[in-house]
Structure 1
């Protein structure tokens, strides 16, 4: 009787362990589903179960598609008939605490895409960066559910005591899948992606690989150049 009870207990423990492993694997598969944005602006990997596509916007119907295999922490993309970006099977090891899919010797690094709602963008955002003697200020005002924006900029050279400035008004904007940004009036391939959000700051990369961030502000960021600095905007524009 005691032996039967021991066998029964061991069988139950084994069943629980197997069930836990199956649940953990299915949870990992669910965590993979969705959009993964490439951190240098190359495009989007959209994963749905055992299938994935690579495109500029996360189109699950894109022709560039792959089979997905998940084995523990190893994620593999297998080529299919219409695969074009990756010419062989690609495998990445995933750190589930900070998910990154890295392929082709880190040439492609995908992270889970944030979801930015249009209404959240409406209002004022700004960024200020300095490299050497050059100070750059960017200020944005998103309007009408982020369907348009005004872009103000200043470029200040403290070494030459000069600056340039400009503004682009009512620039059309379209948000795809919550993180892909395009100008609906342009037919070229330029677009930019939100790749991360931390509090009131959103980090972006464009299709040319340039990165920047924008932080929410209560009012429009304005800049007053130091007294005596020369406005070189018109002079520079003559040579462009």
Structure 2
């Protein structure tokens, strides 16, 4: 591709990724597009840094990739695992002869994966989100040009993941505010509380039950069950006793 063609490809790619409705769909689309964009890539997957794991499988183009990524997580070894942990690019020309990750390499070679390229997925602030995992059934499938293309694609992909998470966070915050507002309204109607008193009831129950205020509100709204008797409401809002 010449520079103009490449610019158009990546402009279309960015619009495509930003059009996805949530993070899982964004991750799936990234994996699909990676196969189209990086010439040597036959299969692709994504490993994410999460609270549960430094390299949790997030999306893949099929069961073969899913298995390869799950093996890296369970064995805690492999190029993509190390990329997610160390923020470094790793490449394998032949999994049958590479000895850096012996157990994992031998097992994926048996699956038919011979070449691997793993590059970092970075957020807008440079934070390490995980790794883009590119696989091929041929030996030495990834050239220097493929490596450059993978890094360019990963830069767009990481930005899309970051935006998707930000949008999801805003949506969740709005949903939480809505739930809390509805729950306050129910308490106001039933007990004749003020808006602040109703929130005090939610906060008190949240503290005593070690439950998030949002979850207390959701219980009220979704189940129709109130978290406190009338006497407990008075305790939570002492000014009512006066």
Which structure ranks higher in relative contact order (CA pairs < 8 Å, sequence separation ≥ 6)? Answer: 2
Give the number of the structure whose residues are more often helix, by fraction: 2
The normalised TM-score by structure 1 is 0.24
The normalised TM-score by structure 2 is 0.24
